[in-house]
């Protein structure tokens, strides 16, 4: 889907690079630490191999100096210290996952072959530097070929062992990221529910609603005051019933917004006209809980409330390809040339932007812009998915 958005979209804030946060070590220092750890880890099998060869040859009556054994065995193991970051990148670029397993295995087999040849070249060179007769009496190409035939299984074990560790760390990292994302989503949902209980439970909404009720009572408009109190009670009940739910069917979200609009219609009387254009096929679509009402409230606050004349709010929802498209329009005075989305301080709209980003990443669109003929158009597009409850009972 097209995730591009107009200039009024809130820009995504890139994650801060490691080493740039206050109090952290510089990136160069961290790089040295990582390389030191790599060399330290691969030095262990290098030293073990050196020591084993030294004592083995001594027992067989063909002793070599420890220096010769070290030159012969240690540097080839350090070759894997240089290869580990490459395997790490290849593992992330070509993960062994369903859907791309065949191509990834092919890439890693080619990488194993290339790494093995490189390793055998280093091993052959080190054998010659150590002065071993076998390495001095054969051509270099022949040495590499013999090492390949004898030791290729060890190279496969080493490369794929490193790759397995890469995947283990990668899966652990992703698991931690999912946990962090889930925690953030729960926080965002809690904030959204708290906003709903301020009216979303906002004090000015409760004040305006109760003030309107008082006016209606003084005018002896019993039915109007009862409608407002009943509507407010229904809103609070729905918000509490859906507490803890991250997503709900669109028809529930629409019902919540409609009840809110009925209260506002009583408040503004004949100054507010509401139009709904909802495609039947989107009623069961999955949407974030409490995502529509803040947009409608914002339209009333800026498009209807400031004017003395009547105005209208239109909510439209339909399916567009693989997306659920929701449009909220008002016929107010518009945004104005000086309006800047990145400096928008409204809690409700900022909450909407943040939750959409947390839930869908870049796979969504949210924009606020002037529309032709006057007024403001808010566009929200998210992936179209049927809510789980609709799948279960539909």
pLDDT in tens, 47-82: 888 888 788 877 777 777 788 888 878 888 888 888
Tell me the pLDDT tens digit for each residue of 362-381: 999 999 999 988 899 999 99
Q: With contact defined as beta carbons under 8 Å apart, do 298 and 335 qualify?
A: no
**pLDDT(346) > 70:** no
Backbone dihedral angles phi then psi of residue 6, each to the nearest 5 degrees: -65, 175
Question: Above 80 in pLDDT, residue 229?
Answer: yes
Instruction: Indicate the pLDDT class of residue 315, thresholds 50, 70 and 90.
Output: very high
pTM of the model: 0.51
pLDDT tens, 148-183? 888 888 888 888 888 888 888 878 888 888 888 887
Instruction: Quick: pLDDT tens for 141-152.
Output: 887 888 888 888
Task: Centre a 10 Å sphere on the Cβ of residue 224 and count the other Cβ atoms it contains.
Answer: 18
Torsion sign (Cα): 36, 42, 48, 52: negative
Question: Would you say residue 23 has pLDDT above 50?
Answer: no
The residue-averaged pLDDT of 287-309 equals 89
Residue 275 has what pLDDT? 95
H helical segments located in 242-341: 250-268, 293-299
Query: Domains in the chain and their CATH numbers?
Result: 27-183 (no CATH), 200-393 (3.30.565.10)
Please state, for a pLDDT cut of 70, what percent of the chain lies above it. 83
């Amino acid at each position: 889907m097209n995730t591009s958005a107009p200039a009024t979209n809130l820009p995504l804030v890139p994650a801060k690079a490691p080493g740039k946060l206050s109090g952290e070590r510089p990136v160069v220092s961290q790089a040295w630490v990582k390389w030191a750890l790599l060399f330290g880890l691969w030095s262990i099998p290098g030293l073990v191999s050196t020591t084993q060869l030294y004592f083995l040859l001594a027992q067989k009556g063909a002793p070599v100096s420890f220096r010769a054994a070290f030159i012969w065995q240690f540097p080839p193991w350090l070759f894997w210290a240089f290869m580990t970051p490459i395997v790490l990148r290849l593992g992330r670029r070509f993960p062994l996952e369903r859907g791309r397993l065949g191509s990834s295995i092919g890439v890693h087999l080619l990488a194993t072959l290339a790494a093995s040849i490189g390793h055998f070249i280093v091993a052959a060179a080190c054998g010659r530097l150590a002065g071993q007769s076998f390495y001095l009496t054969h051509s270099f190409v022949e040495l590499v070929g013999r090492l390949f035939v004898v030791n290729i299984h060890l190279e496969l074990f080493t490369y794929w062992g490193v790759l397995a560790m890469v995947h283990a760390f990668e899966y652990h990292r992703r698991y931690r990221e999912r946990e962090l994302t889930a925690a953030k989503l729960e926080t965002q949902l809690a904030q959204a529910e708290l906003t709903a209980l301020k009216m979303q439970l906002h004090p000015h909404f409760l004040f305006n609603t109760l003030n309107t009720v008082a006016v209606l009572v003084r005018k002896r408009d019993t039915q109007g005051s009862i409608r407002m109190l009943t509507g407010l009670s229904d809103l609070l009940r729905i918000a509490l019933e859906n507490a803890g739910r991250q997503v709900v069917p669109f028809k529930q979200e629409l019902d919540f917004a409609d009840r809110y609009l009925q209260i506002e219609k009583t408040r503004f009387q004949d100054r507010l006209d509401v139009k709904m254009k909802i495609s039947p096929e989107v009623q069961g679509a999955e949407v974030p809980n409490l995502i529509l009402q803040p947009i409608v409230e914002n339209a009333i606050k800026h498009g209807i409330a400031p004017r003395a004349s009547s105005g209208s709010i239109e909510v439209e929802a339909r399916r567009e390809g693989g997306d659920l498209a929701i449009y909220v329009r008002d016929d107010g005075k518009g945004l104005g040339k000086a309006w800047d989305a990145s400096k928008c301080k409204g809690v409700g709209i900022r909450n909407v932007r943040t939750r959409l980003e947390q839930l869908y990443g870049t796979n969504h669109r949210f924009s606020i812009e002037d529309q032709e003929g006057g007024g403001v158009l808010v566009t929200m597009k998210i992936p179209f998915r049927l809510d789980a409850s609709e799948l279960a009972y539909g």
